[in-house]
Amino acid sequence: MKSFLQRSCKRNGFCSTGDNDVGRHTVCVQVTDEFLSYSKSVGNDLSTPLPEYLFPGLKEGDCWCLCAQRWAQAYNAGKAPKLFLQSTHEKTLDFIPLDVMKVFAIDVKESTSVINKLNLQRSQLNEIMKKEISNNDEAFQMLAEKGGPTNRYCTTAEKEEHSRDLNARAQLGTCCFND
């Protein structure tokens, strides 16, 4: 059986998530006694050790990957713990707005710099992708202008081959519309 710590607390310094993380343990928090008391009062006892799950119990100052919905619940009750934004998974944004997390972030200055850099990289990537799409549209248009077969249905084998290489598809003059 997997221990509680193996399921929810990552040793790499980040609160990552995946298919096995049903609770979405994505918020990297530094717990306080106030938060632990509140959490216990709403049925999520994080301070009591559970040796059968190799869970030592948390105490003030410990870091923990908390469920995003539990953090939001504590926030709404005025009991949310501080968090490490750089170690909190991006999927947390499905539950908690970035502006709210920044207010509670211990590492807000460093995080803002990283976020700005990532936003710039995303913008640059989007521009590159727009150019690729435009180039592919131009190749398709050239093919149509040359009278190439742009509307025939492909066999499964052709479709697999074409999906591997978009340039080869344009050069061969074939296009698959059947999904």
Half-sphere exposure of 17 (CA within 13 A, CB side): 19
pLDDT tens-digit series, residues 13-40: 788 887 777 778 899 999 999 999 999 9
Map residue 7 onto helix, strand or coil: helix
Q: Is the pLDDT of residue 151 over 60?
A: no
**How many percent of the chain have pLDDT more than 90?**
42
What's the token pair of residue 38? 């509140």
Band of pLDDT at residue 8, cut at 50, 70 and 90: very low
What's the token pair of residue 43? 């049925």
pLDDT at 22: 73
Cross-strand pairs, 55: 50
Residue with tokens 């050790």: 49
Q: Which of 145, 142, 164, 146 is nearest to 154 (CA)?
A: 164
Residue with tokens 């100052």: 61
